[in-house]
Amino acid sequence: MAKDFYGELQLGILGGGQLGRMLIQEAINYNVNVHVLDPDKNAPCRKLCNRFETGSLSDFETVYNFGKDLDMITIEIEKVNVDALEKLEEEGVMVYPQSRVIRLIQDKGLQKQFFKQNGIPTAAFQLISNKENLHDTHISLPYIQKLRKDGYDGKGVRKINDVAAIATAFEEPSLVEELVDFEKEIAVIVARNDKGQVSTFPLVEMEFNPEANLVEFLISPSTLSFEIQTQAEEIAKKIADDLQIVGLLAVEMFLTKDGQILVNELAPRPHNSGHQTIEGNITSQFAQHLRAIFNLPLGSTAVRTNAVMINLLGEPNYEGMAKYDGVEEALGIEGVFVHLYGKKYTKPFRKMGHVCIVNDDRDEAIKNARFIQEILKVKA
Amino acid sequence: MAKDFYGELQLGILGGGQLGRMLIQEAINYNVNVHVLDPDKNAPCRKLCNRFETGSLSDFETVYNFGKDLDMITIEIEKVNVDALEKLEEEGVMVYPQSRVIRLIQDKGLQKQFFKQNGIPTAAFQLISNKENLHDTHISLPYIQKLRKDGYDGKGVRKINDVAAIATAFEEPSLVEELVDFEKEIAVIVARNDKGQVSTFPLVEMEFNPEANLVEFLISPSTLSFEIQTQAEEIAKKIADDLQIVGLLAVEMFLTKDGQILVNELAPRPHNSGHQTIEGNITSQFAQHLRAIFNLPLGSTAVRTNAVMINLLGEPNYEGMAKYDGVEEALGIEGVFVHLYGKKYTKPFRKMGHVCIVNDDRDEAIKNARFIQEILKVKA
């Protein structure tokens, strides 16, 4: 990097939520000047950066004007105006991950085609232009229908059980996917810098909240076999190489009951499945993302100890000014790290924070995490 | 604490330097609203808080007005207007550490008298009103003369070798202290919350830069005997209890060549001798300070791995806009954490950042730290 960036670099982050917030906590160590754009004037990053701008991430002019005087732009959410990023790239602003990578990942149809073209294992699928097409798909019922664009955290995903259910299916461009009979949801976060150095974090296993379809519980390191872990990491590395991405890439996968790994989807940024790296690994995912986009040597991803991550989701039936029950009791347990996201208002299943529980004894870490899940509640 | 403070508490920090900066990095996890007062408009905290105010820390009106609408005030430097803090305390603002503790520690004479009154081992001393008194002191030459107020980082300390040197001694109120023939400088950081819970971090050994009299190199954990470590920790706990301090207290001590521990001086705040706790211990000193002032259970101070801390001091002979040489090479070594302090200008021996090097092999950690000391330079 030509510019001496420790203190001079102007870094823009599209999105000012918790991922941006934790990225800033780390960016402080590098003297980076951080600029944030977010539509919400109360976004978690609002008071932690050199400049906070309120505006739409989908609007061409807003994103272009936000970025045109910056040196580098990164994202904490992939639903952003890619045309603006492409123009900024042409004008010399460094955009990591690159606009073409964001464009591809924004569209779950393009993602699936990319997997197919590059021989990356994934569930059988078919692209669908409109609801009527569903009657002709070769994917057999029941199947999953996913909107090609704008789905996140389980939104934009529907299970179609039978022909009658097609009436309630999404109208917009979508894809249908074979139902995967999976044993576990697993994830590997991989980083790649512009020199082409690629490094994966060890595989993690996730448990989802069935009601909200959000990661609720995550254990690192995994106890899956060495073969499975290696295979998942190799897949993640291959995707990073095939994409030639610069930055972090979260690769969410299914481990099927017959031991197959199928890639589910990608996120080109820090990810909920990597929060435990802050305390559990030598390098955190946020530090690694910065190393990758700054073209620095990638850090060691080695596990330091057992870490369990639980999301603090807004309790069902509570909406309003957030109150946190049980923080004091949770902090009385050894190895407990509470991360609150600075969100003033809670609503059911809103991600309000997370807790990382570390322990040299894995069972103890899990036991403590289960206990904290019971006592720590976000209410209003 | 009556107030539900996650998101509502308005916390003021007197001082906006690197200690405040690292405290903010941690306070983000608790949704605290941070207000900072510092005389330097370019202070390291300026862009990381809800409100940054430029003003004198020694001025009554400035400190009082800064604090009067806040819920709680803490400090990152002890040279502040204590009368203003006392008035704020009377008006119901929580001030941690308490104004009376800051008042005592601001004056090295009062500190020494406190040690004597409470049976805390310290070098023999005598209070001195003016230079003339030096001719009558019962402390034998050569001795150390220290200004009672406003000394820091080796400033305000002078060695008086012989009677002739008295001519060049400090004029202001001071103390003279027996010269200690020490083997090592050691430190214990202790925390105490308002419930009276007290917890020490394991002892650390420091090496000082002889030219600048600043901590340059620190190794955790110590390899000193269990007896010495326990004794030092007990002394630190006793001081915290005797002072009834709320917050963090750094206790700097000498280990003499004949194995005695003598307390040198106190700092009622996060301290340079605790930076390695960020990566090296379960709870960092910054997290512990917040737990203490928020009256939360104190965190485990257990060592996670060997950690060496080196200060990044401005190179001699360079003054101006800071440039950092060797960061990329340093980050290529496993277990290296660089913390830059966001200071635009460097000057000889200015604290510009620090690096923490962790490794499960102690010798390897030391070797890597020595290497980084050679390659990582702050120039202009």
CA distance A176 to B145: 81
pLDDT for res A7: 74
Query: For A322, which of B7, B47, B291 is closest by C-beta distance?
Result: B7
| Beta-carbon contacts of residue B94 (< 8 Å; ≥ 6 apart) | B71, B72, B73, B293
pLDDT for res B151: 75
Which residues in B lie closer than 8 A to residue A17 (C-beta atoms)?
none
pLDDT for res B2: 42
pLDDT for res B71: 96
pTM of the model: 0.95
CA distance A116 to A135: 23
Pick from B343, B341, B347: nearest CA to B319: B347
B172 known member of a binding site: no
ipTM: 0.93
Q: pLDDT tens for residues A93-133? A: 999 999 999 999 999 999 999 999 999 999 999 999 988 88
Beta-strand pair B72-75/B143-147 = unpaired
Q: pLDDT tens for residues A296-333? A: 999 999 999 999 999 999 999 999 999 999 999 999 99
Hey, are the CB atoms on A30 and B299 less than 8 Å from each other? Answer: no
pLDDT for res B1: 46
CA distance A192 to A268: 11
Helix (H) or strand (E) holding B190: strand B182-192
Cβ–Cβ contacts within 10 Å for residue B152, how many?
Answer: 11
Hey, are the CB atoms on A338 and B30 less than 8 Å from each other? Answer: yes
pLDDT for res B4: 60
B185 known member of a binding site: yes
Which residues in B lie closer than 8 A to residue A341 (C-beta atoms)?
31
* C-alpha to C-alpha distances, B318 to A305, B214, B379, nearest whole angstrom: 42, 18, 6
Best A26, A30, A194 member to test B by mutation, with max B CBs in 10 Å, is: A30
| Sign of the C-alpha dihedral computed for residues B104, B107, B108 and B112 taken in this order | negative
Q: How far is A151 from chain B (nearest CA, A)?
A: 28
The first and second tokens of residue B30, run together, are 């608790």
Q: How far is A167 from chain B (nearest CA, A)?
A: 45
DSSP string, B212-279: TTEEEEEEES--S-HHHHHHHHHHHHHHHHHHT--EEEEEEEEEETTS-EEEEEEESS--GGGTTHHH
Query: Which phi and psi angles does B367 have, rounded to 5°?
Result: -60, -45
Low-confidence ranges of chain A (pLDDT < 70): 1-5, 152-154, 213-214
Low-confidence ranges of chain B (pLDDT < 50): 1-2
A 268-297 residues with CB < 8 A to B: 282, 291, 296-297
Domains of chain A and CATH, by start: 10-95 (3.40.50.20), 124-178 (3.30.1490.20), 182-379 (3.30.470.20)
B265 known member of a binding site: yes
Residue B75 CB-half CA count within 13 A: 25
Pick from A186, A337, A162: nearest CA to A253: A186
A with B: how many residue pairs have Cβ under 8 Å apart? 94
CA distance A174 to A176: 7
Query: Which chain A residue lies closest to B357 (C-alpha atoms)?
Result: A282
Which residues in A lie closer than 8 A to residue B296 (C-beta atoms)?
327-328, 331
| Sign of the C-alpha dihedral computed for residues A328, A329, A334 and A337 taken in this order | negative
Hey, are the CB atoms on A342 and B291 less than 8 Å from each other? Answer: no
**B135 alpha-carbon distance from chain centroid:** 33
pLDDT for res A4: 63
Q: pLDDT tens for residues A72-92? A: 999 999 999 999 999 999 999
Q: Between vectors from CA A91 to CA A86 and to CA A93, what angle results, nearest 5°?
A: 75
**Pseudo-torsion of CA B82, B85, B87, B92, nearest 10°?**
-160
CA distance A364 to B61: 52
pLDDT for res B133: 86
pLDDT for res A379: 94
Query: Which chain B residue lies closest to A35 (C-alpha atoms)?
Result: B47
Which residues in A lie closer than 8 A to residue B6 (C-beta atoms)?
322-324, 327, 340
Length of chain B: 380
B227 known member of a binding site: no
Omega before residue B173 within 30° of 0, cis: no
B225, B321 Cβ separation under 8 angstroms: no
Pick from B186, B189, B187: nearest CA to B248: B189
CA distance A169 to A128: 11
| Sign of the C-alpha dihedral computed for residues B220, B224, B226 and B232 taken in this order | negative
Q: How far is B376 from chain A (nearest CA, A)?
A: 13
pLDDT for res B5: 60
| Beta-carbon contacts of residue B241 (< 8 Å; ≥ 6 apart) | B192, B196, B198
Pick from A285, A129, A269, A279: nearest CA to A201: A285
CA distance A62 to A84: 9
Burial of B314 (0-12, 13-18, 19+ CB in 10 A): buried
Query: For A324, which of B6, B49, B304 is closest by C-beta distance?
Result: B6
pLDDT for res B210: 73
Query: For A47, which of B49, B335, B341 is closest by C-beta distance?
Result: B49
Hey, are the CB atoms on A322 and B50 less than 8 Å from each other? Answer: no
CB of A332 less than 8 A from some CB of B = yes
pLDDT for res B255: 96
The first and second tokens of residue A53, run together, are 């701008």
Dihedral-angle region of residue B53 (phi above 0 means left; psi in -120 to 50 means alpha; beta otherwise): beta
B205 known member of a binding site: no
A 301-330 residues with CB < 8 A to B: 302, 304-305, 322-324, 327-328
Query: Which chain B residue lies closest to A303 (C-alpha atoms)?
Result: B335
CA distance A210 to A349: 11
Pick from A143, A249, A233, A123: nearest CA to A193: A249
